[in-house]
Amino acid sequence: MQEKWYKEGVVYQIYPRSFKDSNSDGIGDVSGIIEKIPYLKEIGIDILWVSPIYKSPMVDNGYDISDYYDINPEFGTLEDVKKLIKELHKADIKLVMDLVINHTSSEHEWFKRSIKKDGKYKDYYHWEDKPINWTGFFGQKAWTYNEDRKQYYLHLFAKEQPDLNYENKYVREDVKKIMRFWLDLGVDGFRCDVINLIAKNNKYPKGKFSPILVGKEYYLNQPKLHDYLKEFNEDVFSKYDMFTVGETVFIDTETAKLLTNPKRKELNMIFQFDHMTSDCHYVKWFMKKFKPFNLKKPLSKWQNELNGVGWNTLYLENHDQPRSINRFGSLKYWYESATMLATMLYFQQGTPFIYQGQEIGMTNASFTNLDDYKDLETHNIYKLGRKFLFSHKRMMKKIMNMSRDNGRTPMQWDNTTNGGFSEGEPWIKLNPNYIDINVKKQINDESSVLSYYKKIIKLRKEYRTIIYGNYIDIDFMNKKIYSYKRYDDNYELIIICNFIDKSYKFDITKYKEYKLLLTNYKDNYDGFLKPYEARVYINKYK
């Protein structure tokens, strides 16, 4: 297998409901994606990851799958997907599908048959006579009673998302069948949803007390996880030119090394979440003030730890996260902070992931009305908070900052009705700032966020040092500036990012022999870095 292409390529994530609606029903669809392939080509991406488009009752927007072999009608048909694969490949873009296999929808045939204890399906899920005290990711109890089977079943997410039982080898065989089906269709890889949850301690011991995720010691990163992944590799992955990126929640660098060390043949790369807690305690609903050092610390740690033994992904946004400018940058210095964050992130070692809209600097919609939020997690958390007597105002503040819907508003293509996303009524409101922030306005503007992203993508293709070079921090203890060096036998790159909204006295004369490769300001250095200024210097070794 070739490991070059997925290390050297840039990935773009599409949340299909909100990308482009081709038939005016207000919901983005596969034909909409096909329409926008020229745009993807224009920004220079190599790999496309599409969030789930399979048949689903849409309780969790497609992360609850009822048929893995078909497409949800609102997104199109299997024929449309075949066309998408063909058109993408023609444009030299690979396609990565979301593989949601920790759980199915409760509407999936397997679950229905499991309820009836029908043959081999009896133990496809986790069933117990008594409820266990575990809690899950949407602030919910993780075991729910089923009236028909008269037993409790496990669901680490919504009750409509029952967890599959991987100790059952028929489950694993069925999952491999799904993988082969999509790979045979021409798909180039999988983003494996919450993959480090698939193995459970099937004795279901009582979880120890914790404010969140009670029982996690029995469902996070269990030893059998590695066995299952090895089995998937041996039987499926190794037979195709494809790659896997695992979404791994609450994971440390040691486990990550086991998962991504190529010699062990488990996953090719993972998403870790340490840097996503730089503005919250453990989980996002316990917000705290953002401190740049709390972002730098984990990012630097992951760079240092995985170098040479594993492989990082580089991301600040996805469909589960609020927009990065709101979290780590500044609306006042919108352009500067958007481009600084991109510089900080995408000059690191790892495969870059760009989430739709990030490349034009989309920001949180922060709807003030609870009804404007569509995400079930948002509504769950609201109810939970109110139960614990938090005021409406306090809960709305959390939601306006942290709701996943902040990242799920429609893509802002232009300044016409509905931002060019749809001619019908969109399933979720747009961010009203589409008038100012949109693709059309930025695409031909050399000084736009979008053009800056394009420059970074181009530079990554030009200098292997950015992809494979070593990483070393410069003045690590500086709480305002994030600066680091990337180097190999050919080049040395210096990245300097000002994380504050003020000028900061900073000596760059030591780099006067170097070439300035990229900056988000005009180059008129006066002894200070400007607010959110980013600079990249390069030096060629003789």
Nearest to 63 by CA among 315, 427, 320: 320
DSSP labels, 316-343: S--TTS--HHHHHS-STTHHHHHHHHHH
Contact partners, residue 81, CB within 8 Å, separation at least 6: 30, 53, 71, 185
Residue 412, helix vs strand vs coil: coil
Nearest to 410 by CA among 1, 10, 20: 20
Nearer of residues 103 and 530 to ligand TEU, judged by Cβ: 103
Residue 67 touches Ca ion, criterion: CB under 5 A: no
Residues making contact with ligand TEU (CB under 6 A): 60, 63, 100, 137, 157, 193-194, 247, 249, 284, 319-320, 377, 404
Nearer of residues 288 and 502 to ligand TEU, judged by Cβ: 288
Contact partners, residue 377, CB within 8 Å, separation at least 6: 138, 139, 403, 404
Contacted entry of ligand TEU, Ca ion, none for residue 137, CB cut-off 5 to 8 Å set by kind: ligand TEU
Contacted entry of ligand TEU, Ca ion, none for residue 98, CB cut-off 5 to 8 Å set by kind: none
Looking at 60, 80, 160, 247, which residue is catalytic?
247
Q: Which stretch binds Ca ion (CB under 5 A): 14-22, 98-106, 179-187, 403-411?
A: 14-22
Cα-only R_g, the chain: 23
Residue 25 touches Ca ion, criterion: CB under 5 A: yes
Q: Where are the alpha helices (DSSP H) in 329-391?
A: 334-346, 376-387
Contacted entry of Ca ion, ligand TEU, none for residue 100, CB cut-off 5 to 8 Å set by kind: ligand TEU
Q: Output the smallest distance, CB 158 to ligand TEU, in A.
A: 8
Q: Which residues pair with 152 in a beta bridge?
A: 128, 145
Nearer of residues 63 and 499 to ligand TEU, judged by Cβ: 63
Nearest to 395 by CA among 281, 280, 322, 287: 287
Q: Is the distance from CB of 270 to CB of 350 less than 8 angstroms?
A: no
Contacted entry of ligand TEU, Ca ion, none for residue 27, CB cut-off 5 to 8 Å set by kind: Ca ion
Nearer of residues 21 and 377 to Ca ion, judged by Cβ: 21
Q: Output the smallest distance, CB 103 to ligand TEU, in A.
A: 7
Residue 424 has a CB neighbour count (10 Å cut-off) of 13
Contacted entry of Ca ion, ligand TEU, none for residue 63, CB cut-off 5 to 8 Å set by kind: ligand TEU
Q: Output the smallest distance, CB 60 to ligand TEU, in A.
A: 5
Beta strand pairing call for 67-71 and 351-355: unpaired
Figure out which of the listed residues 12, 19, 20, 29 binds Ca ion, where binding follows CB under 5 A: 29
Tokens of 421: 């996303």
Q: Is 436 a catalytic residue?
A: no
What are the Cα distances from residue 194, in Å, to 87, 157, 245?
29, 11, 10
Residue 23 touches Ca ion, criterion: CB under 5 A: yes
Looking at 193, 405, 492, 533, which residue is catalytic?
193
Residue 27 touches Ca ion, criterion: CB under 5 A: yes
Residue 80 touches Ca ion, criterion: CB under 5 A: no
Distance in angstroms (rounded) separating the CA atoms of residues 506 and 481: 9
Q: Is 35 a catalytic residue?
A: no
Nearer of residues 73 and 119 to Ca ion, judged by Cβ: 73
Contacted entry of ligand TEU, Ca ion, none for residue 80, CB cut-off 5 to 8 Å set by kind: none
- Residues contributing to the site for Ca ion (CB under 5 A): 21, 23, 25, 27, 29
List residues with catalytic annotation.
193, 247
